[in-house]
Amino acid sequence: MISKKIIREAAYQATRSSCIKLPADVKRAYEDAAKKETGKIAKYFLEKYLENISLSEERGWPLCADPGTPRWFVKVGENADFEGKFISLENILREAIVDVTKDVGIRPNVCDPINRWNSGTNIGPRIPPIDYSFEPEVDWIELTISWKGGVSGNDYRLGMPVDGVTGIKRAVLDCVIPTLKEGHQCPPHIVGVGLGGTKDYSMRLAKEAAILRPVGDRHPNPDIASLELDLLSLINNLGFGAAGLPGMTAAFDVHIEVAYTHTMGMPVGVTNHCGCVRRATVRINSDDRAEFRSSPEWFTKYLRGM
């Protein structure tokens, strides 16, 4: 049985890491973008970002003054047995956010939507959201913490089947371009796209796609993978670079997730993850061994229904 002690320690360490250390795939994306960037000021910004990324990791400083809003993604093996069950697990995940907010000096962003009262802890009613998925024939649990901006960079379009792939591309660009032009979030982005399902589900798919897939990962369906690359090329040929300045890298990647949908429509949800990707993953095995991983194993064949 996986003990509460190990879950608590793993959740704390993952939360702390997510606030001060950029995931390896995103750091590589910054390095690659800085090497190829031809825009003088955009290149300068990318190089300074890399300096700040190293300083944050070395000194235990927050990666960004604005941590966004916390969210947990929990994958549970069907054979996993853990002490305290789900209520205890959720309490531990909330406590980890409170403790790291205090210990690392994370800015408390979460407040009441009406009177704006702020507890100073980055938790509150229904925050953090805790999303679950399940995996057959395994006995581990995997915890992924993400802090993502909650008030910008999200949009939705309802297309028609007759619009085809061209209509999907237009819908995504219609969502992405205003974000780049108006400075709603800090590029380079990771663009998540949810196709199909219902309006709310397409937005959930978009958020999972932006947060839970590493830069460079391609969808196993070749048609979807091709569309990801086409959209990435279109976005990076708009002329935007780091911090919205003229440049070559408006987005590090585009990730698409799909669900079957109603025959009369094509829901398209879009969300942009800013360049400060605060994400960390830990898998806790049945022998109480915590294994910190470079990226989540969220999108399995079972989850995608493939």
Give the N- to C-terminal CA distance of the chain in Å, as an integer. Answer: 31
Could you read off the pLDDT of 154-200 as tens digits, one per residue? 899 999 999 999 999 999 999 999 989 887 788 999 999 999 999 99
3-class state of residue 47 by DSSP:
helix
Q: Can you tell me the distance from the alpha carbon of 108 to that of 122, in angstroms, rounded to the nearest whole number? A: 5
Q: In sequence order, what are the residues at sequence separation of 6 or more whose Cβ sits closer than 8 angstroms to the Cβ of residue 265?
A: 158, 159, 160, 161
- C-alpha pair distances (Å), 138 with each of 77, 135, 289: 5, 7, 15
Domain 4-21+63-149+278-304 coded CATH 3.30.70: no
Q: What is the pTM of this model?
A: 0.95
Q: In sequence order, what are the residues at sequence separation of 6 or more whose Cβ sits closer than 8 angstroms to the Cβ of residue 63?
A: 19, 20, 21, 22, 52, 53, 56, 276, 278
Could you read off the pLDDT of 251-280 as tens digits, one per residue? 999 999 999 999 999 999 999 999 999 999
Residue 153 has pLDDT above 80, yes or no: no
DSSP calls for 165-215: HHHHHHHHHHHHHHHHHHT-S-SSEEEEEEEEE-HHHHHHHHHHHHHHS-T
Residue 103 has pLDDT above 80, yes or no: yes
Tokens 């909650």 found at: 150
DSSP designation for 110: -
Report the pLDDT value the prediction gives residue 65, as an integer from 0 to 100: 83
DSSP calls for 225-289: HHHHHHHHHHHHTSSB-GGGSBSS-SEEEEEEEEEEE-TT-EEEEEEEE-S--EEEEEEE-TTS-
Q: How confident is the model at residue 29 (pLDDT cuts 50, 70, 90)?
A: very high
| Cβ-count burial 271-295 (b if 16+ within 10 Å, e if not) | bbbbbbbbbbbbbbbbeeebeeeeb
Rg of the Cα atoms in the chain: 19
Paired tokens of 134 = 């399940």
Backbone angles phi, psi at 267, to 5 degrees: -65, 135
**Minimal CA–CA distance to 281: which of 74, 132, 133?**
74
Burial of residue 137 (number of CB atoms within 10 Å: 0-12, 13-18, 19+): exposed
122: phi > 0 → left, psi -120 to 50 → alpha, else beta; which?
A: left
Paired tokens of 62 = 């927050």
Mean residue pLDDT of the chain comes to 95
Could you read off the pLDDT of 106-135 as tens digits, one per residue? 999 999 999 999 999 999 999 999 999 999
Report the pLDDT value the prediction gives residue 288, as an integer from 0 to 100: 93
Q: What is the mean predicted confidence (pLDDT) over 77-103?
A: 96
Q: Where are the domains of the chain?
A: 4-21+63-149+278-304, 150-273
